[in-house]
Amino acid sequence: MTYRVVIPARYGATRLPGKPLRHLLGKPLVQYVYENAVASGADEVVIATDDNRIRDAAEGFGAAVCMTLSEHRSGTERLAEVAERNGYAADSIVVNVQGDEPMLPPLLIRQVAENLVAHSAASIATLCTRLVKADHLFNPNIVKVVRDRQDYALYFSRAPIPWDRDGFTSKPMKADPNAEYFHHVGLYAYRAGFLREYVQLPPCQAEQLESLEQLRALWYGYRIHVAETKASMEGGVDTEEDLLRVEKLLRHARSEAVN
């Protein structure tokens, strides 16, 4: 199996401007993402950005960079431009690794690529993990997914799905202890040919209401395979508090490696 990784990296994040270049133990955040992607066994890793500061930093630690347009509305659109500029064949596997996930295990990057190869009916492969905390279930920043019996996505939502009609309307609210809920992990594998098709599709209403770009693919009849993660993962970096949390984890991991 061969696959490429593209890491979209934007400088102007609303909550944490300059996020890809914020330092963690002396290295820019995006460098950790890049190194994990390389460690996954990808044949090529490219950082896609529209910012010269990110380009300069990435080239400084040896990464390949593709400069892209600034008006892209999503990471998927940025990936499509990279695939077009670099001439990727239609059946090439391209994994979208978000540029704010410095703790993403390389195993998961490879897993999502392997899942797409193994499921020829899917245009996209992605991952999920079980939700065990009630506050996560009702948190709109944590995206939920419902799958069919073959692990293809039925729907993604910021709302708690499936909705427990009896339990969630009772007082006090009680969820069925046997019900399974899944958190969607925003790691995607695509075929380059699909990326070229996707960017030609008008957005659908569900996508716009939920602000979830994967709903466009479902709306137009493309299938998304969703496997459970083979490894646990820490959250990404969106805030100053996240930076401190991740730095603490990295410091601990470095100390463990030394000892």
Assign residue 23 the CATH number of its domain.
Answer: 3.90.550.10
Range(s) of the domain holding residue 83:
4-129+147-153+182-258
Per the structure, the count of domains in the chain is: 1
Q: What average pLDDT does range 103-110 have in this prediction? A: 96
The tokens for 139 are 């948190």
In a domain, 170, yes or no: no
* Average pLDDT of every residue of the chain: 92
The three-class DSSP label of residue 160 is: coil
In a domain, 139, yes or no: no
In a domain, 27, yes or no: yes
What is the pLDDT, as a whole number, of residue 259?
65
Q: What average pLDDT does range 91-110 have in this prediction? A: 95
Q: Considering the chain, what percentage of its residues have pLDDT values greater than 90? A: 75
The three-class DSSP label of residue 125 is: strand
Sort 87 into a burial class: Cβ within 10 Å, 0-12 / 13-18 / 19+. exposed
Closest by CA position to 217, among listed 193, 192, 194? 194
In a domain, 161, yes or no: no
DSSP 6: E
Q: Residues 241-253: pLDDT tens digits?
A: 999 999 999 898 8
pTM of the predicted structure, to 2 decimals: 0.92
In a domain, 166, yes or no: no
Q: What average pLDDT does range 170-186 have in this prediction? A: 83
Amino acid at 107: L
Amino acid at 188: Y
In a domain, 163, yes or no: no
Closest by CA position to 250, among listed 40, 15, 35? 35
Q: Predicted confidence band at 72 (pLDDT cuts at 50, 70, 90)?
A: confident
In a domain, 167, yes or no: no
In a domain, 136, yes or no: no
